[in-house]
């Protein structure tokens, strides 16, 4: 399933203005009974749209909806290899399934994911037309070794794009999260298709909380934030997508040539945990120390008993020691 049916789209476009519409008016528009109208409303609610009913007034979307527009994103980014879909299992999986024939920089963005995933197999809550579900294919000719610091670079590119929208105060948590005032704002999932001594095909997945519906927020098992609670103006997801595409193209091209070294200073500026006591959870073991940033390979630097040791890759999680 990649899109709503004709009636679903008609109802979605009607409710996008954030105004009340009577069940009778909706039924006439869709050519269906009042009972069917209620079923269509429930179907939209099930994919995360916050729609409510007031007796005597009708149905209303809790907030006006601004849908993704492929042509607008192409024009504002200056890049053509962009695909926008309504409903996908996963934007990452969409690209992974086509990875053998993708042009470098091919981007996929969706309004809704039925099986969005985060790091370590976790589900990524993906309500319809609420957040940014974004994936980009990038070919690393230097091979899989170059992928070790990739999520850190992508984090920097994402913060850069947000700052160009006027959003300040977003930080990075090693290796793949964006935080705002101690709450998770976005996550990064890098998936690889590579063999030793060969080119490395990467799919870069980025999920950004833009406007979290209250009911969907209850499904998340950690403190979270969204862009619309940070900034007084609603975030234009088309503009954000275009900025993110431009930042990724720019930084990834530089990264392939120069590695992570030129970006270390920027990481240290954005590191949420720098010089704080942290717990590093490695499988069933916990290492406690002081976070001293990262090295040129993207490894976390942890100071324990006045000795600094790098940690990288695998099933590692980082937490503040007092949490």
Q: At what angle do helices 150-164 and 237-258 cross, to 10 degrees?
A: 140
Q: Where are the beta strands (DSSP E) in the chain?
A: 51-54, 58-61, 82-88, 107-113, 132-140, 170-173, 177-180, 183-194, 200-208, 277-282, 285-294, 300-304, 307-311, 316-320
Active site residue 25: no
Among residues 119, 139, 164, 309, which one is catalytic? 119
3-state secondary structure of 23: helix
Token pair of 264 as six digits: 């270390």
Is the preceding omega at residue 175 within 30 degrees of 0, hence cis? yes
Active site residue 119: yes
Full strand arrangement of the beta sheet holding 277-282: 307-311, 300-304, 285-294, 277-282, 316-320
In angstroms, what CA-CA distances link 91 with 15, 47, 113, 278, 318? 26, 16, 7, 33, 26
Active site residue 258: no
Among residues 25, 139, 184, 266, which one is catalytic? 184
Among residues 25, 139, 239, 319, which one is catalytic? 319
Active site residues: 119, 184, 319
């Amino acid at each position: 399933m990649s899109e709503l049916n004709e009636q679903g789209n008609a109802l979605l476009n009607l409710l996008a203005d954030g105004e009340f519409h009577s069940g009778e008016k909706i039924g006439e528009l869709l050519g269906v009974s009042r009972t069917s109208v209620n079923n269509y409303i429930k179907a939209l609610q099930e994919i995360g749209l916050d729609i409510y009913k007031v007796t005597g007034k009708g149905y209303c979307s809790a907030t006006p909806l601004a849908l993704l527009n492929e042509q607008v994103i192409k024009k504002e980014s200056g890049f053509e290899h962009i695909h926008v879909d309504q409903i996908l299992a996963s934007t990452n999986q969409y690209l992974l399934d086509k990875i053998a024939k993708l042009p470098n920089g091919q981007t996929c963005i969706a309004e809704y994911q039925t099986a969005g995933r985060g790091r370590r197999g976790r589900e990524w809550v993906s309500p319809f037309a609420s957040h940014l579900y974004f994936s980009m294919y990038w070919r690393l000719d230097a091979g899989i070794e170059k992928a070790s610091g990739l999520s850190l670079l992508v984090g920097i590119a994402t913060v850069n794009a947000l700052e160009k929208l006027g959003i300040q105060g977003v930080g990075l948590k090693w290796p793949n999260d964006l935080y705002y005032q101690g709450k998770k704002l976005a996550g990064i999932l890098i998936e690889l298709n590579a063999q030793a001594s060969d080119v490395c095909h990467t799919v870069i997945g980025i999920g950004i909380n833009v406007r979290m519906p209250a009911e969907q927020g209850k499904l998340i098992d950690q403190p979270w934030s969204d862009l619309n609670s940070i900034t007084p103006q609603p975030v234009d997801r088309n503009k954000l997508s275009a900025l993110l595409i431009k930042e990724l193209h720019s930084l990834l091209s530089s990264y392939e040539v120069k590695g992570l070294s030129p970006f270390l200073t920027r990481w240290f500026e954005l590191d949420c945990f720098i010089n704080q006591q942290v717990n590093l959870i490695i499988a069933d073991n916990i290492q406690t120390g002081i976070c001293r940033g990262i090295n040129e390979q993207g490894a976390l630097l942890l100071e324990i008993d006045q000795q600094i040791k790098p940690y990288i890759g695998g099933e590692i999680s980082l937490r503040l020691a007092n949490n």
